[in-house]
A and B are shown apart, each in its own frame.
Chain A
């Protein structure tokens, strides 16, 4: 049994303690916007916010959480896709297949929350998520646009 605070609601789920947070979100809570990509915290497709920090949910057991930690998933980032990152992504058509983009957006949003005007070097260093379609340059432009630091777009 785990008690979690997800997207502003406290809920209890009956799962084994070692179940990764990712699979609780996807299978118990139906929040499938958070993706499984590797299961070993390499690719970042499972990135969520835990108290505002980008966290890879696939390699963190649910027992590491209680309801004092605020977990936010892509579904809870904004009520209407109005977060500046989501708006910049829309303006620049960042996603291709889109599978990695939930994690990419959550990583980008956490970066901006901590560093509102990141340099390009900081963006490249901080956002380590994998995208196989190859959206990286539009991701960089999107973060710069949301931060008001870019020349793109």
Chain B
């Protein structure tokens, strides 16, 4: 097994000058890794998911990627729950995509996106743990010549009830590994969980406190060189000519290379020298067809599409147009949501070594198998001759999942320098300009209210970009992108509208700009929840009704949506005045949605000064994920989701001018910092019977709850994000 066990720097930089480093676990070096992949695993496994060593330490294999969301700990809890091992002896390791391929995908999907890490794999990972326990028990029973049914396992010890004999997991692991894998593997009722469902500490914290956690950027291999890259800032543009004479004379520089037809890289002994030399390369671009594209120009395209006759239907009931035409009152509003960059704290990076026989890549990725496929394609080698070693991610948020552009680049570079390991690190500027951006959309909402203020019909026309069209165009059927309707679907158990509206039409007029889209934490739920939840607030006010009561009247057949909404309303004290803060009155706003399988709601409390200064004081958030595997990590995800969601709501915007993104770093792309962070109170309310994700859903209620509270405070309806572009000053 050459999997990487949340590697620490100790292994990689043995003998470094400072810091008291000692030799410990090592990341396999390229040649060694090649040898090991072909060899038998170094420790016998009980099954694909579980290795028990003679000293009783347990290695649980984790197929999904840890990027901060805690899935590594949560998945290990689920395996350990069924395994009945001593949690204190548990460590984890990543199987590699190459091993997964060679073993018929025994670990299933490695994709870590869509908040699917646990909800998609909980059953088979629990079965992996349970099967391993059954095999360990059987091995002990065989040794004692007793029926396995008389033996039970707890805390890594097997006990034969009648005789009281005991055996440790470690003492029978090798024998257990030779037994057939059981086919009938019953699982515990979650009500009987002892470890899963508990707020245990993360397994990966200690290494993040002293600098020893290795991220992709930190990797060092013997003889490794470093590369900096600059791709054409106009998407779709190409390199016309390169003058690298000055750069090639600079210290440490080994090569100036073209990467594909669209980028130039400098390879040097250190990254700083590579980056400095790249700045000295004069590149002339052929900017192609989009050299004059702009955000303003594309906004006009979307505006026209708001009324276009053709659109793909996402959700339809009754006759919305007729209901609105015949309504006592018609309400209409247009919202917009901009492009945004993921802005992971760790910029894109990867290390590769290529020979005509084999290619190996080390990279932080949300999907090892997709990285492996990208590497093989770029290497021009069959997948069986390639390997990807997953390194801990310094943030993912969707950027490191579906598209592995940086992996293709590093392999392209390494291919031009056979046998030499090369580490490619993007500059922050490159990361900002070459993102895979949150899609840009607009939405026109039209509703009819009857004389009593009841909602009789609603039309939602979404116009704009499709992520699926940009990344998986083969999944577009009849012009319809199924993902674009997240949170608005009729019934999918995934992302459903929470209101019973008798006459409803939600459709999408797809218009794609040249800016490449990406799955961005929360994906389309982000803007859809703003569109629907802010408009619901508008309708409540137009009807002269309380926003909570207005919603409740429409939610009678959506009890799970309603339950989380009620939970935040009750906790926040909806219906009673909020206490002023520093003399400023405080106002509340609500939002709820359903996404990634979970039901979520938020109540935000804000104040706005006469000068227009917004202060978000508190957010109460409720999540019903069905089952809660680690409640304290769910709380951490919810808190974190509001940082991401509020960064987007307040500041997040990538604009296009002359075909390229204008925001180049954290000075022009502001994000939320600690001084603006509200208190977050998290209600985790699992009701069982389904499995929802937790990394993303609550992001989507951050912005609408705050926007609705801003309306309560100011009477201003902000419909264009981000908020920084709108003055809240009292006039």
Contacts and interface: CB of A to CB of B under 8 A. Distances in A.
Interface of A: 6-7, 9, 11, 16, 19-20, 23, 26-40, 42-43, 45, 73-79, 81, 86, 89-90, 93-102, 105, 123-125, 127-140
- SS of B interface (majority): loop
Nearest to B15: A30
Contacts of A105: 209
A134 B251 contact: no
A32 B425 CA distance: 14
Contacts of A136: 639, 643, 672-674, 677
B270 interface: yes
A99 B345 contact: yes
Which of B69, B205, B210, B347 lies at the interface centre, i.e. has the most chain A CB atoms within 10 A of its CB?
Answer: B210
Contacts, number: 205
27 contacts: A16-B276, A26-B218, A27-B226, A29-B18, A30-B13, A31-B19, A32-B13, A35-B215, A37-B346, A38-B665, A75-B212, A81-B206, A93-B202, A95-B209, A96-B636, A97-B67, A97-B68, A97-B392, A98-B208, A99-B345, A124-B677, A129-B674, A130-B671, A132-B395, A133-B68, A136-B673, A137-B677
Contact of B680 (A35, A123, A132, A137): A137
B535 interface: no
Given A37-B345, A42-B665, A75 B271 contact: no
Contacts of A38: 428, 665-666
Contacts of B343: 132
Given A37-B428, A39-B428, A137-B679, A101 B19 contact: no
Interface of B: 9, 13, 16-21, 67-70, 201-202, 204-215, 217-218, 220, 226, 251, 270-273, 276, 343-347, 392-397, 425, 427-428, 632-633, 636, 639-644, 647, 665-667, 671-675, 677, 679-680
A74 B226 CA distance: 24
Contacts of A23: 270-272
A128 B675 contact: yes
Given A32-B9, A132-B643, A133-B640, A42 B666 contact: yes
A32 B675 CA distance: 28
A16 B251 contact: yes
B209 to A, nearest CB: 5
A86 B210 contact: yes
Contacts of B205: 89-90, 93-95, 98
Contact of B632 (A29, A77, A93): A93
B18 A34 contact: no
A31 B18 contact: yes
Contacts of A27: 226, 270-272
B68 A95 contact: yes
Contacts of A31: 16, 18-19, 211
Nearest to A139: B674
The 10 closest A-B pairs by CB, nearest first: A33-B211, A134-B643, A134-B640, A97-B68, A99-B394, A98-B208, A96-B68, A30-B16, A32-B218, A75-B19
Contact of A99 (B69, B272, B395, B680): B395
B511 to A, nearest CB: 29
Nearest to A43: B666
Contacts of A9: 17-18
Contacts of B215: 35, 99
Given A81-B209, A132-B343, A40 B70 contact: no
A100 B643 CA distance: 14
Contacts of B679: 137
Contacts of B397: 132
A11 B16 CA distance: 12
A133 B643 contact: yes
B326 to A, nearest CB: 46
B681 to A, nearest CB: 10
A37 to B, nearest CB: 5
B19 A131 contact: no
A113 B103 CA distance: 53
Contacts of B271: 23, 27
